[in-house]
Amino acid sequence: MEEKVGELWHKLIMRMADQRYLNAAVYLNDEKNIIGTFFRALGGDGALQVEAVDSTAINRRRNWLQRIAGTGNRVELAWRDQNALKLPAQIAWFDSKELNRKLYFWLAAMAANEVQIAQPKHNHWFARSQLSVLVTLQRYPGLINNYAALVQAHLQQRPDPQKLSAREKLAELEIRQALIDPGSVKQLTMDKRSPFPVPLWLHPETFVNADFQQVLSDEENNNSGQQETRELEDLGRRKAERVKPPEEGKGLITIRMENIFSWGEFINLDRGNEDEEDADQAESVARDLDVISVSRNRRSSAIRLKFDLDLPSASSDDEVLSDGLLLPEWDWKKGVMIENCCHVIEMMATDAEPLALPEHLTKTARKLRNQFQMLAPARVWHRNQADGQDIDIDAYLRYAAEKSAAEGVSADGLYRELRSGARDLACLLVADLSLSTDSWVNDQQRVIDVIRDSLFLFAESLNATGDLFSMIGFSSRKRDPIRVHLLKTFDEKYSAEVRGRINAIKPGYYTRLGAAIRYATEQLKLQGASRRLMLILTDGKPNDLDQYEGRFGIEDTRQAILSAKKLGLQPFCVTIDEKGNRYLPHLFGVDGYAVIHNPLQMPQLLPRLYARLTS
């Protein structure tokens, strides 16, 4: 009975303390795609993705209900960094869905026109926000009415200045003036408490007066296992730190308390052996922590939560490379190409046993071969040959007539030969063999198994057309080494040995996609075909252990693609990443990629996609 009463009391207090209008809430997941398009249409950085931001701590004045409920000390504020545009998972500031939706698009417009100013003052974000508003409204006057409606509705929500202390009142009046007349207030009065948040502005990564905390990063948790997994789509990237695992087997050390002269407030207590088995409770803990500490532990957890961490790289590789195939890499922060940065090692499974086509693919392969044979040019007679299958009657009669009329006539070119035509085309397929391909698609197949079947059917199809093609797989472990597995070269025929190498592929390490594309470019540009296609088969974003994670990898891959296009090559990406639409347009263009939502369909769709690209 006490528990039931307590639960009802908790719900009542939380509902009374919540000042949001949840009935009019608009959710980011419903608007994400159109907001991203709107952001880029207004000139926003095409490499930035739209992601949910996590709530941050704020030391503002709270009413008595919020203090009882323990709420009001965190808020979701929009901001932008080098990797993403961070927006609240839901907006329920206003009692109108229309206004809440307008706020999403206003924040996207402001982010696309955000002004960067360099000032040493701790609250320069205040002046920058006003300047960004001015620039946005000047460039897009059609947004003036929307902004005015948002300001009018928000001013009614802000606290009454007459009920605040002197410094808080001064700061509140300055914020109100800045909202009504952007650019009219140069500096914000600071106080020990932070002011009421301004949802109409983009906030910086740190807000000194309110102890705002930035959540950066793009690293995904690729751990495998059979535990229950819950992906927290609405949870923004969290700050994280690496710590050493606790030493096991150490007993309790008894000490004399009178020898301790001071007490420490913080205790680094490990809860590794107290794993939470309740998914809801584990999720609640993940949401409450501002900084998450991670360490290696061989114990399997009962619950796995999947979300992004702002986790610094474990190490950085700065060794000088001297041997092997060296390739450059683009440093997007400096805007320069670093020569001889990546070390590529070519590998071939020479011990792979020759293999017949797997039985479960035989029927599909036969159907594809029949379809692709129709793409092969018709066989035609080549006349005036020095040697051939048959005598060229026209050439022989002409030779006989000329010989009877004069002497010294050459007998060359009296034959004809039936040859197959050839499409002036070369294709190189680049398959991602990173560690993420070890994940399971269903109870029977992993991603690597789907890729293997795709390579089998792709090779069978292209062999039927007679097109010149090559296949490689790759994975990386930082910039040295980058392993390139040669599955079939341009110079060899498709055979049982090639099928053996395809069958031998297995998950590797990470995805340094820019280096793989540059290697493929070097191989493909040597081919004399007038049309050269580079097909890239992957299951996720570019990533690696070092700084290649996040924006660095995205921009390096984009530069590699642009370089390939300048040489006349045609890169095209095929991915099973459901989030591919968020970053692939920036890399390959709107017509340079395809997302396959059902991975099991890839083996059948890949050859047909090739036929459409080369028709």
Q: Give residue 514's pLDDT band: very low, low, confident or very high (50, 70, 90).
A: very high
**pLDDT at residue 92 in the model:** 85
| E runs forming strands in 362-423 | 379-385, 390-391, 415-420
Determine contact, residues 210/198, Cβ cutoff 8 Å. no
State the pLDDT at residue 215: 29
Residue closest to 503 by CA, chosen among 407, 335, 359, 364: 359
Please answer whether residues 311 and 217 qualify as being in contact, where contact means their C-beta atoms are separated by less than 8 angstroms.
Answer: yes
Higher local confidence (pLDDT), 1 or 110: 110
Tens of pLDDT along 318-345? Answer: 333 345 689 999 998 888 999 989 999 8
Q: Is 242 helix (H, G, I), strand (E, B) or coil?
A: strand
Is the pLDDT at 267 greater than 60? The verdict is: no
Average pLDDT over residues 546-566: 91
Q: Are 542 and 517 in contact (CB under 8 A)?
A: no
The predicted pLDDT at position 64 comes to 57
Find out whether 28 and 89 touch, Cβ atoms under 8 Å: yes
Tokens read off for 313: 């790289």
pLDDT digits (tens, 9 = 90+) for 369-411: 888 877 766 555 667 776 777 888 888 788 888 777 776 667 7
- pLDDT above 90 covers a percentage of the chain that reads 27
Strand partners, 532: 426, 569
Question: What is the predicted pLDDT for the residue at 207?
Answer: 42
Label residue 382 left, alpha or beta by phi (over 0 means left) and psi (-120 to 50 means alpha): beta
CB–CB of 519/345 below 8 Å?
Answer: no
Place of tokens 């300055």: 174
Q: What burial class does residue 454 get, using C-beta atoms within 10 Å of its C-beta: 0-12 exposed, 13-18 middle, 19+ buried?
A: buried
Between 1-5, 98-102, 509-513, the lowest mean confidence (pLDDT) is in 1-5
Q: Do the strands 390-391 and 569-575 form a parallel or antiparallel pair, or are they unpaired?
A: unpaired
pLDDT digits (tens, 9 = 90+) for 448-466: 999 999 999 999 999 888 8
Kindly report, residue by residue over 64-91, the tens digit of the pLDDT: 566 665 665 677 788 887 778 888 888 8
Q: Is the pLDDT of residue 561 over 80?
A: yes
Predicted confidence band of residue 582 (pLDDT cuts 50, 70, 90):
confident
pLDDT of residue 227: 47
CATH 3.90.1640.30 correct for 346-374+423-614: no
- What is the pLDDT confidence band of residue 197, given thresholds at 50, 70 and 90? confident
Mean pLDDT for 411-423 is 69
| The token pair that represents 379 in the structure block | 């066989």
Core vs surface per residue 282-310: b (16+ CB within 10 A) or e: bbeebbeeeeeeeeeeeeebebbbebbbb
The Cβ of residue 370 has, within 10 Å, a number of other Cβ atoms equal to 10
Asked if the peptide bond before residue 481 counts as cis, ω within 30 degrees of 0, the response is yes
Q: Which residue do the tokens 């004069």 mark? A: 406
The CA distance from 214 to 475, in Å, is: 32
Average pLDDT, stretch 603-611? Answer: 89
Cα 38 to chain center, whole Å?
19
Residues 6+ apart with CB under 8 A from 323: 343
**Cα-to-chain-centroid distance, residue 532:** 26
The structural domains of the chain, with segments of one domain joined by +, span 2-180, 215-247+267-312, 346-374+423-614, 379-420
* Residue 125: predicted pLDDT: 78
Q: Would you state the pLDDT for residue 475?
A: 92
Give yes or no for residue 115 having a pLDDT over 50.
yes
Residues comprising the chain, all counted: 615
SS3 470: strand
Give the model confidence (pLDDT) of 281-310 as tens digits: 666 666 666 566 666 555 556 566 655 554
pTM metric for this prediction: 0.67
pLDDT at 344: 92
Q: How far is CA 542 from the centre of its chain?
A: 7
Amino acid 42: pLDDT: 87
Q: Give the rounded percent of residues in the chain with a pLDDT score beyond 70.
A: 71
pLDDT at position 217: 34
